[in-house]
Structure 1
Amino acid sequence: MQISRDYSSPNFEIRKNNESPNKVILHYTGMKDTNSALNKLCSSQSKVSSHYLINRDGKIWQLVDEKMTSWHAGVSDWLGEKNLNHSSIGIELCNPGHEFGYKNFPKKQMYSLEFLLKKVILKYNIRPEFILGHSDVAPARKKDPGEKFKWKNLATKGLAAWPKSNVKLPKIYDKKTLIYKSLEIIGYNVKDNLDASIIAFKRHFISRKLDHLMDEEEMRMLITVSKYFMDIRRIS
């Protein structure tokens, strides 16, 4: 599969300490069409960019060299690490997003994403639990790639993290404390954004009832994911 370099973005800088990326952050463009997205990502006035852009027909553009920091994550936080641009690869998926008529992600687009993720993961030895959504690392500001993005499908191919078994809820527990600690274990910045982190978690792992309330089924999923993330970090 070819990666086009027909476009390039001026919005980048040298990575801090020339460190290699250890995360991938997935976005949707949230623009009406592909040309609008390319124009914005390649405009010096926009001050935003990404390393890659994947069109809905599967075409891939590389806009910024992987050795450089692209400006895609903005104010962000994961596992206590802030400002994740320098430690990540940013991939934008053409999709109008919630503002302009959020759509499903086509098979051709997802196939190209899988191809690109395999390439990046192999090159930088990035672990599946560090393939993240923009809404995961900036839950108070962002919704992308959104609840229609099929994280579980990526996980079956080793390209994202998803639990393989369910965990039972304890018989007695303090709900607020369990939510807080579980989200924190996964990586969310709950100290500053508890309600937004709950919604981001549900957007990623549940894809429905996108509010800050948690029913029993959602609580089971939350502690299942938190235990899974804790376990795979011990192994890694």
Structure 2
Amino acid sequence: MSGFLPDEPSAEVRVSPNFGPRRDTLKPDMIVLHYTGMATGTGAEAWLCDPSSEVSSHYLVHENGHIVQMVRESDRAWHAGKSSWFGRTDINSCSVGIEIVNPGHSLGYPGFPRRQIDAVIGLCKGIAGRHEILATRVLAHSDVAPGRKIDPGEKFPWAALFESGVGHLVPAAPVRRGAALRPGDNGADVEALQSMLALYGYGVEITGIFDDQTRIVVEAFQRHFRPRRVDGLADGSTMRTLQGLLASVSR
């Protein structure tokens, strides 16, 4: 990538060899947020630029807010892996990937510093503006790869992004005691749950049976939109939050 100039003016450039051309699309229409899941940001940056890793991201955001661009937005970075949204399975070809330095669940999972989140917000605004990306298409890795991935996780401050004009959110309905759909349940209520998740974009088969895949998708939904309790059970809070999101959608 000779003569690589950053798409984001504030970004440092460190070129990764792990990229290719986008397939079947001229520009991205989605932003996918990740955490690095490694002990240090330096190690994560090196790994994303190592040809043997066969992974990359368009951007890396360090804890202090420093942004590194590794792949041009016009190219296809290798960040999402096996994933889907609205039935599309080549998420790498239609997205910009942002890795956020955080050791993740297996290494203590600390909170995300405000300087880092401010940098993510600014970066997302720039990307969304350049490519006319809708708020509903600023997503978590766990949204597009439920079960396989859980990042950036339930501590990620989606509300701070939303309050700054990034992403799609509604206030999560209060968690209360009461009945919940759970694995083994079946019938019209389960079918309605699966249909609503699919309408929002999640990859879930509409069968009317609350199977393990449905539980995994419910967990992914909760991790992003109702993080107070991530248990995979479709309680009243989960259902009302999902209904509220769908009612407020503008695609």
C-alpha distance in 2, partners of 1:123/1:226?
26
Q: Tell me which residue corresponds to 2:245.
A: 225
Q: Tell me which residue corresponds to 1:118.
A: 125
C-alpha distance in 2, partners of 1:49/1:193?
28
C-alpha distance in 2, partners of 1:165/1:210?
13
The answer to whether the 8 Å contact 2:33/2:100 transfers is yes
TM value normalised by structure 2: 0.85
Residue 97 of structure 1, aligned match among 101, 104, 120: 104
The answer to whether the 8 Å contact 2:62/2:116 transfers is yes
Q: Tell me which residue corresponds to 2:59.
A: 52
Q: Tell me which residue corresponds to 1:203.
A: 223
C-alpha distance in 2, partners of 1:205/1:116?
21
* 1:179 alignment partner AA: L
Matches within 5 A, 1:136-175: 136-163=143-170, 174-175=188-189
Residue 39 of structure 2, aligned match among 32, 45, 49: 32
Residue 204 of structure 2, aligned match among 160, 171, 190: 190
Q: Tell me which residue corresponds to 1:214.
A: 234
C-alpha distance in 2, partners of 1:194/1:135?
14
Q: Tell me which residue corresponds to 1:88.
A: 95
C-alpha distance in 2, partners of 1:152/1:28?
17
Q: Residue 81 of structure 1 aligns to a residue in which SS?
A: coil
C-alpha distance in 1, partners of 2:25/2:143?
25
Distance 1:17 1:202, change over 3 A: closer
Q: Tell me which residue corresponds to 1:3.
A: 11
Q: Tell me which residue corresponds to 1:170.
A: none
Q: Residue 190 of structure 1 aligns to a residue in which SS?
A: coil
Distance 1:120 1:193, change over 3 A: same
The answer to whether the 8 Å contact 2:219/2:232 transfers is yes
C-alpha distance in 2, partners of 1:85/1:38?
19
Count of aligned pairs: 224
CA offsets, 1:99-145, max 9 Å, x none? 11111111000111111111111100101100000000000200001
* 1:198 alignment partner AA: V
C-alpha distance in 2, partners of 1:102/1:175?
35
Residue 132 of structure 1, aligned match among 126, 139, 146: 139
* 1:2 alignment partner AA: S
Q: Tell me which residue corresponds to 2:80.
A: 73
Identity of aligned residues (%): 39
The answer to whether the 8 Å contact 1:183/1:226 transfers is no
List alignment gaps of at least 5 residues for structure 2: 1-8, 174-186, 206-211
Q: Tell me which residue corresponds to 1:63.
A: 70
The answer to whether the 8 Å contact 1:135/1:141 transfers is yes
C-alpha distance in 2, partners of 1:29/1:8?
17
CA offsets, 1:48-104, max 9 Å, x none? 000000000000000111111000001110011112000000000000001111111
C-alpha distance in 2, partners of 1:17/1:210?
36
